[in-house]
Structure 1
């Protein structure tokens, strides 16, 4: 019934007086009722007064006045008092707030007390509001037999009152109150987690069943009820969204912390399944109990929603719950996604360290793979890892060996995460570009190919990082293939590829081949760094020659195995010269044995025979086919006469057996095992021939000048000064100044001091290969060979630049290929030509500017 002002004007004085009396009585009863603090005796008296006012059309005025009175009373008695409980925290500084957080029962006690007081007041006012509704309903009953309007009065009043309560709290909300709620739920969930942590740890080693959760949660029901009670009361005050945000934030925070605790810096154990078990054991059980307490767990569609987690191959399993409600399934999806994303971000941030530890860190890689499959955030991995590579690996301070080992581990790890190789393309390109600028890249790659320790000095590397291990795997894979009919096999593979076809990920480079044609071949990627397999084969040939020339025996089994594996990968024709080099060692062993066997046959007479027999028995030779070996570094050397005679006798025996072939000695190559006798002890060394020649000169006299000693050995003084430093460093020879500035005096010591005992090589000497000055190779390097081979084209290049003024690299290359067809024809790669031109720039014959080569002015 609406208020009608025209009807009021029509009333007489007596009626108006009666109406004023009724209104005054209504206001007095309202004040008495609202201020009664639990005394509802004025309720029955309100019915006739409200009926009189409603009869005059003032029902809406009655309701509005009563609600305004409720609002003012609730604001004074409840809202202001409620916020006063939190004034200390809201007005505190950040440091003081931390002290609040550390208090054991804060904010539980404050929140519980404030909610209790407020809800009591709210409950009393709702009773008052129901009295008003009853009065309105009584009037409606007196004029109507139906109860439809009476029901509308009650629901409408309660709805307006709830809106009023929410408005009062939200309009006076301090900015720190949401933080109070977050702290409250955080502490409560931590308490719940600590109650269940012991049982959870035990359950990680077994399946979680329903009985387990019934036993576990039986002790936490009171805690969940207390939390549910607080949530229900906060909802009634209008804090529904804020409360859900608060306990959701607390759950998410606890979940993140749990992921970090389980994962940490341990990459050797998988953690994803443990995290998922914990989600089911703690947060989901808590949420199920909370939703059940609040009455929110029922599905209004009459059954299960049918939703299931996409993380599991089987339907979602909720131990102790049965068929899960839709709200709980949604919570599980949210929590599992957050767990996957948190673990993914944690592993991506530590991906550099994880790959350093690969393959021991394989469990962490598998976890990361599952996370990325669910979140799809592969681009985050690529961007983060490339950034880590640029700042931590691709720097001048990192050795080429370390970069290559990390690259190999990166290939293997990313091959696990993404078998298609799409993301490896993006991550590997900066590494390959950087390695192409390193001069020792080829040598390090070849070392990894031929060294089972992975190329690290001292053999301490991980064998899984060795490219030799990859060669072994390739050979095993080829050996295990089922060689059926080629056409049939190709058809089967084509059908399999067609059935498994999927489009490339959006991150794939459109200029690269489809992932069905993409093969992650570690050796192929290494060759792509070098530029061509010929360069790698040439470097391997040089390193093989160096290794064979410095062998003290004929044990080449590992070299033969490596060569066979390389032939499988690079082809037999490419490795033909290397095979001949190994055959030379095999032939040398047989020839050496035949010559020593012939010692029993009389070829010398008397005492000379005995001396020769003893000496030749200690001599092993390597006889090489020079045309198939890399160019050998020549160095003049005069060896002691007795040794020279020994070599002549050996050559004579060889000529007798291998007529008409003769030996041409390379006296600067090989190794010599010496035993030096001093007054206090004997010392053994394994050194180069030049070192042996130097020290043996001190048998004739104990003191030499540098010029005389160099003349006696037949080497330049500069070479002598560099090579004799080996004996000086061992404390065998001392150096002093001579009569001339550029002349030095070298003396042999009689007694080796104790301070040099640690530097001696009694067990196995620190050979010449271990010293810095002896890092000089006995074989010409690939760069030196290339420079020698390219010298014939130097005049042609200089002539081109004289005629054309300037030319880019590719034009010089194409011109040489076009016109240099006669012997020797030009067959070099673009990278080899660039290296040669760089040498001409170093010799100041050419200069380069803006990618163009000019003659040096």
Structure 2
């Protein structure tokens, strides 16, 4: 380059720098433009277009950094430099940070707007040069076209490199406060409806909400003005390059508001469905806001426009939203996102409270239905299984929970999870820990049978819920049995079979592949209960014992409900299994008829015999239950001497029975049954219903008012300790008083003199009465299943000990198979593996056997 060209270039460059500084430093004065154009053209002619662009951008950056950026961040320094506690104080301040953020954005955007005009001045200068030199050798067009994008990138870079760490938090606070304010405005006039009334979401309201604001900024409502202010802030932040950060901020604010609304609507009331209200609230508030915001920002693109692109195949585009019409694709995606989060939030909330929900079932059915819909949408069934199993082990499967409570919760769990998952896959996973735990409880079988037969659901108070007992399941099972032919695939015609195949769905991935789906779907509540016990025979035996106890305590022969229950059990377990129980009920029916015939016959006989002395006790007071002992469980017997008058009454009854039912005879079980007594005290009386032994004790005091325990025990024919235990019933009621006797172990019992003494002693012995009643309830007239099993298995004890002497040690299966093989004579071995294990466990407790590594061997 020659000296003249160099001097010219330096001169032009100096003038360009001077004019650039004048342009950038001017307060809105763009008059430098005409003077800058020839200088730029001269520099471009010399091939310095790129240098012109880079210098101008560098000057813009320095000016923007020094004049705008520092001032912009200074607005937020008090918050950024504050401690966490002080930041909370900032957040609760009114009009913070909206006033500071709006003012700061307005100032920096004004500065940026002026600099953009300056950039346009340079762009115009470069384009003027290009227009004058069609054969431009230097491609100044590249500089002019890239100048504005590079400036925008420079602005974003400067702001992001100087960004305080707390600025995203400030944006989050801003959008939270604004959206909360918007929600209050929207729901203010509907607070009484609690967002549960359909009127809240009528199109007349939601459409008015959006129609109150147009893109041109004409405000006609408070909500539209608020959206306009939010939209202006979003637009300014986008202009500065904070697009992604801004979207994250208002997205998190919307999600936060949605989560708060779900918690507010759901709460701890499980009797009201909330999912529908949440979905309507999403359309009424967040979607309306987003629609208005996207429209204000110009981001709303209709489906019908060709620029919308391909829609997600998962998106089911609604025909319209209330007050919106046909939504844009962006709004549909927002709708899907918000609904999924609402489903997931409500699902997590309900799963966390699932234990309480099932406790309140079926009143909590709406909450179960909501949870079902949520899981169908999210597919997070495994979360339910893991969380609920953890709750069960921590809150239910503990030593402090009664077996009745566990069974009731299990039944409710079955019903609730059957609603959520009809295939039974997740019930199978959740129910296994409960079944394993219940198998270790000794009273599980008894409680299950009580639930099957007792309308109170197994609660002694009789206050159980209607759904606690299993009688309804027996009824349902009977109906299914009657309609079984309709479910037989062999009888389904070809058209129905084709329809069934079209509706088939595979099991969830969590299903156990070892269990077929068809078998799993056939599992019902009764089947699950039997699976806990292990064998229906054990359940039938327990039912037989409980039925015998119940029938022996009946005094009115009313067994209609028992007959109905037996018929249902016969349908489920088979007639052969319930044959002995049916005979027991027939005995009650025959007893009622025989009892009536004998009492009528005795009455006629007493009237026709002349001169007969009137009996001390009338035959009308005696009702007898006559049982076929071969078909009843073993009866607990106890020697008892009843008063002579009662004994004569029983003898007359037995003689008449022998005359009518020859050659059968009656063998009285005098310790069984109930006696109704009326005790008189100075003109007043008290009525009691007691066991025969209690009646025999108190009736002895008709002979004399005072007895020693030894003498009374001899008269009644029961052991001394049994007398002391039984007579405490009358002392607890205040009928008898106890005093020291001639010996240390002999006591004297005396009848009270007056009714006042009875009341006084009754109050004084209230606790003793409660103890006595509890003890009496524990006594049974029928041998328990365990006692019967132990008695029946005693005959095999010698065989088992002999085998262990010969073989040293044997496993449970080997002992079981050996007994089945060799014990074929009467009585033949017909016990189950579980029954044998129970008997061997008893021998271990008695220290006759011991176990080691799963093998049984003789105790050393």
TM range (shorter): over 0.9
Are the aligned partners of 1:33 and 1:128 in contact in 2 as well (CA < 8 Å)? yes
Q: CA deviation at 1:83?
A: 1.1
Once residues 434 and 329 of structure 2 are traced to their aligned partners in structure 1, the CA distance between those partners, rounded to angstroms, is 49
Q: 1:492 to 1:134 in 2, by over 3 A?
A: closer
Shift of 1:210: 4.2
Q: Give the Cα–Cα distance (whole angstroms) in 1 for the partners of residues 139 and 75 of structure 2.
A: 42
Task: State whether structure 2 residue 654 is matched by structure 1 residue 651.
Answer: yes
Cα distance in structure 2, aligned partners of 1:842 and 1:306: 75
Give the equivalent residue in structure 2 for 1:404. Answer: 407
- 355 and 492 in structure 1: CA distance in 2 versus 1, 3 angstrom threshold: farther
SS for the counterpart of 1:323 is: coil
User: Which deviations, in whole Å up to 9, do the C-alpha atoms of 1:304-333 show, x marking residues without a partner?
Assistant: 668589697x84532222222111111111
Are the equivalent residues in 2 in contact too, given 1:769–1:775 (CA < 8 A)? no
Distance 2:519 2:150 in 1: 66
1:213 corresponds in structure 2 to 206
Cα deviation per residue 1:337-362 (whole Å; 9 max; x = unaligned)? 11111111111111111111111111
TM-score, normalization by structure 2: 0.93
In structure 1, how many angstroms separate the alpha carbons of the residues matched to 2:313 and 2:614?
Answer: 89
Secondary structure in structure 2 of the residue aligned to 1:696 = helix
Distance in 1 of aligned mates of 2:87 and 2:586: 82
State the alpha-carbon separation in 1 of the partners of residues 232 and 209 from structure 2. 21
- The 1:148–1:641 alpha-carbon spacing in structure 2 relative to 1, beyond 3 Å, is farther
In the TM superposition, what are the counterparts of 1:120-199 in structure 2 within 5 Å? 120-144=110-134, 152-198=142-188
> Following TM superposition, by how much is the alpha carbon of 1:692 offset from its aligned partner in structure 2, in angstroms?
1.2
User: How far 1:46 moved relative to its partner?
Assistant: 1.7
> Corresponding residue for 2:449?
446
The 3 A distance-change label for structure 1 pair 758 and 588 is farther
Tell whether 2:423 aligns with 1:420. yes
Match of 1:253 among 256, 261, 264: 256
CA distance in 2, matches of 1:684, 1:492: 71
Which residue does the alignment assign to 1:70? 60
Partner of 1:11: 2
- Hey, what does 1:60 align to over in structure 2? 50
The Cα of 1:724 is off from its aligned counterpart by 2.0
Matching residue within 521, 532, 537 for 2:540 = 537
1:33 aligns with 2:48: no
Decide which moves more: 657-666 or 150-159. Answer: 150-159
Q: Which whole-Å CA distance do the structure 1 matches of 2:337 and 2:715 have between them?
A: 86
> 2: CA distance between counterparts of 1:493 and 1:692?
69
State the match for 2:515 in structure 1: 512
Matching residue of 1:275: 278
- Number of matched pairs: 841
Compute the RMSD of aligned alpha carbons.
2.6
* Superposition deviation, residue 518 in structure 1: 3.2
Alpha-carbon distance change, 592 to 492 in structure 1, aligned in 2, over 3 angstroms: farther
Contact 2:302 2:327 in 1 (8 A): no
- What per-residue deviation string (whole Å, max 9, x for no partner) do you get for residues 113-135 of structure 1? 11011101111111111111122
1:752 to 726, 751, 757: 757
The 1-side partners of 2:73 and 2:166 are apart by 11
1:664-691 CA distances to partner (integer Å, 9 max, x unpaired)?
1100000111122224842211111111
Mapped contact 1:311–1:374 kept (Cα < 8 A)? no
CA contact (8 A) 1:452 1:469 kept: no
The match for 1:354 among 357, 367, 376 is 357
Residue number among 669, 677, 687 corresponding to 1:684 in the alignment: 687
308, 321, 341: which one pairs with 2:324? 321
Gaps of 5+ in 2: 213-220
Q: Distance between the aligned counterparts of 1:316 and 1:729, measured in 2?
A: 78
Aligned partner of 2:89 among 79, 99, 105: 99
- More divergent stretch after superposition (288-297 vs 137-146): 137-146
Q: Distance in 2 between matches of 1:162 and 1:624?
A: 102
More off after superposition, 319-328 vs 626-635: 319-328
Helix, strand or coil for the counterpart of 2:461? Answer: helix
**Pair 1:86-2:76 in alignment:** yes
Q: Classify 1:755/1:257 alpha carbon distance in 2 versus 1 (closer, same or farther; 3 Å).
A: farther
Matched, 1:470 2:473: yes
* Contact in 2 for aligned 1:51/1:136 (Cα 8 Å): yes
> What's the offset of the Cα at 1:150?
7.1
Q: 1:731 to 1:83 in 2, by over 3 A?
A: farther
Deviation at 1:793, TM superposition (A): 0.6
Equivalent of 2:560 in 538, 550, 557: 557
Report the TM-score when normalising by structure 1.
0.93
Q: Residue 672 of structure 1 corresponds to which residue in structure 2?
A: 675
Deviations 1:566-595 (A, max 9, x none): 011111111111011111111111111112
Residues 489-500 of structure 1: pairs in structure 2 closer than 5 A: 489=492, 495=498, 497-500=500-503
- Is 1:601 paired with 2:604? yes
CA contact (8 A) 1:447 1:455 kept: yes
The offset of 1:267, in angstroms, is 1.2
Write the distance in 2 (CA, Å) between the matches of 1:486 and 1:59.
86
Q: Deviation digits for residues 346-390 of structure 1, max 9, x if unmatched?
A: 111111111111111111111111111111111111111111111
CA contact (8 A) 2:473 2:525 kept: yes
Cα distance in structure 2, aligned partners of 1:654 and 1:609: 22
Partner of residue 46 from structure 1, selected from 36, 49, 72: 36
Residue 110 and residue 484 in structure 1: after superposition, are their counterparts in 2 closer, same or farther (change >3 A)? closer
**Cα distance, 1:15–1:376 mapped onto 2, change above 3 Å:** same
* Structure 1 unmatched ranges of 5 or more: 1-9
Q: CA 1:149–1:747 in structure 2 vs 1: closer, same or farther (change >3 Å)?
A: farther
Deviates more, 1:654-663 or 1:460-469: 654-663
- Matched with 2:699 is 696
Find the counterpart in structure 2 of residue 819 from structure 1: 822
Change (3 A) 1:817 1:485: closer
Q: Who is 1:728 aligned against?
A: 731
Taking structure 1 as reference, are residues 564 and 305 closer, same or farther at Cα in structure 2, changes over 3 Å only?
Answer: farther
| Deviations 1:216-245, CA, capped at 9 Å, x for gaps | 333321111111110110011111111001
Q: Aligned partners of 2:278 and 2:611: how far apart in 1?
A: 85
Contact 1:596–1:616, Cα closer than 8 Å, also in 2: yes
Structure 1 contact 546–777 (Cα < 8 Å) conserved: yes
